[in-house]
Amino acid sequence: MRLKEIRKSRGISQLKLAMDLNMNQNSISRYECGEREADYSTLIKFADYFNVSLDYLLERTDNPDMMK
């Protein structure tokens, strides 16, 4: 998952992301390290937050656009 890459490119800390999405910072860290897999609703929250497609978030495409 590209979560860490996207988050860092936008200059957002793990703590800010966690607070914005009403999550725990430790969970964000575990998602980024691959220690934990996000469920569907969490993946959708991440994609919506960063305005990218799920396919981009999950590294199925290099095109971040949601509509293309």
Tell me which H or E stretch contains 16. helix 14-20
Check pLDDT > 60 for residue 31: yes
Give the residue extent of every domain in the chain: 3-57
Q: What is the pLDDT of residues 38-56, one digit of tens each?
A: 999 999 999 999 999 999 9
pLDDT given for residue 35 in this prediction: 97
Task: Judge contact between 38 and 48, C-beta under 8 A.
Answer: no
Domain 3-57, architecture per CATH: Orthogonal Bundle (1.10)
Instruction: Note the pLDDT of residue 64.
Output: 85
pTM equals 0.91
CA distance 35 to 33: 5
Closest C-alpha among 25, 27, 26, 32 to residue 8 = 32
